[in-house]
A = this chain, B = another copy of it.
Amino acid sequence: MPLGEIIQRAMSPISTGLMDRENMLIKRLTRIVPSIREGHGQLAVPLGTGDDAAVLRPSGKTDWVLSCDSFLEGVHFIDGVHPPESVGYKSLARAVSDLAAMGAQPRYFLLALALPSAKTRGWLDQFARGMARAARELQVRLVGGDISKTQRVTIGITVLGEIARGNALTRAGGRAGDLLYVSGKLGAAQLGLEIVLRGLSRRRSLKKYLHPHLYPRIPLELGESLAHHKIPSAMMDISDGLSTDLARLCAASGAGARLRAAQIPTVRVPALLERKGVTPLELALHGGDDYGLLFTVPRKSLSRLRRIPSAIPVTCIGKMTREQKIVLVRADGRASPLVSKGWNPFSR
């Protein structure tokens, strides 16, 4: 049932009392999450939550970028382990990451939420607070959605962003000789996940390592800036791990890549996990959920890259090659093919 319908019912003298509890929970949700409701008068959105659909008024001067993403209990998060704030935050952040990857500016989102009755009180409140924080940080507003009842929480997010016509960055433009860059450090989110999966998340000394896994930071301004200055020839976000996502970029670009292991920005692994065989390089190569940007830069654009201001560092990790394979050069000079070992739902 559309969120807005329930809000309207709640405010209506005809309300039959049937849905009082649902009215309450949805009113709570839309009070917490930045939303656009009917009749708010903003020109770009003649109609937000509160009808069968949202009505948007494009200027005709920009392209619109549209993506959807699922976030599912038992697949993307574990009930009782991942805090509801993180579920709300991360489900929206990772959807917005697909817009950052195109260089677009996020504008609106739709939320299709299904949850069990037991989660309609405190859990929903905390979920909404996490989502609200992501919405404020990423500057998106809720314009519509749908709510159902299920046994396991199911979250569907659709995001809509804007970009100057023709400026969207695809994965298909990388050419042999272009330099390969990543933003931030790689493997931080996977390190957090390893701690969670090993049941170590309550260890005081390890708490600080959980944050990138629970609340990933989306390099939105960097993506917009790179697209605005037309610096990369190709760009995408690293959601499933460098080894998997680089293979996609190479496939789309019809090129290969040569990575230098020593140049890849890795994270420090606490001794306890290092002893269990967790290494910074493996985390960086195959760990997902970082949502850093992976992009290729033609040599002629390097000086422009150096001039753009960014709060997040970017690092050259190798270059694109003509030969359509991905090679990893280790610190000792040994070169070997890099096999995709990132996140793949159906391989497990």
Contacts and interface: CB of A to CB of B under 8 A. Distances in A.
Interface of A: 1-2, 5, 8-9, 11-16, 18-19, 21-22, 38, 46-47, 50-70, 72, 74-76, 98-99, 101-102, 104, 108, 110-112, 114, 117, 120, 143-152, 154, 156, 158-161, 163, 165-166, 168, 170-172, 236-237, 240, 247-248, 250-252, 256, 324-326, 339-341, 343-348
A72 B326 CA distance: 40
A156 B68 contact: yes
Max chain B Cβ within 10 angstroms of own Cβ: one of A75, A148, A158, A163: A158
A38 B346 CA distance: 24
Q: Which 9 A-B pairs have the closest CB atoms?
A: A60-B60, A12-B251, A58-B58, A156-B156, A53-B67, A149-B345, A52-B101, A52-B98, A158-B158
A13 B68 CA distance: 28
A2 to B, nearest CB: 8
A37 to B, nearest CB: 12
Contact of A344 (B19, B54, B237): B19
Contacts of A159: 53
Contacts of A75: 114, 148-150
Contacts of A240: 1
B339 A16 contact: yes
Given A38-B170, A53-B101, A120 B16 contact: no
Contact of A53 (B54, B72, B104, B339): B104
Nearest to A151: B74
B53 A147 contact: no
A335 to B, nearest CB: 16
A346 B14 contact: no
B59 A247 contact: no
Contact of A66 (B14, B53, B168): B53
B16 A247 contact: yes
A21 B53 contact: no
A55 B60 contact: no
Contacts of A161: 53
A82 to B, nearest CB: 16
Given A46-B63, A64-B58, A149-B75, A346 B117 contact: yes
A143 B98 CA distance: 14
Contact of A65 (B5, B19, B22, B53): B53
Max chain B Cβ within 10 angstroms of own Cβ: one of A22, A69, A99, A161: A69
A51 B102 contact: yes
12 contacts: A9-B251, A12-B248, A13-B251, A38-B170, A38-B172, A51-B252, A52-B99, A55-B102, A60-B60, A72-B114, A110-B158, A158-B158
Contacts of A57: 63-64, 165
Nearest to A71: B148
Contacts of A148: 70, 72, 75-76, 345
B8 A252 contact: yes
Max chain B Cβ within 10 angstroms of own Cβ: one of A18, A21, A248: A248
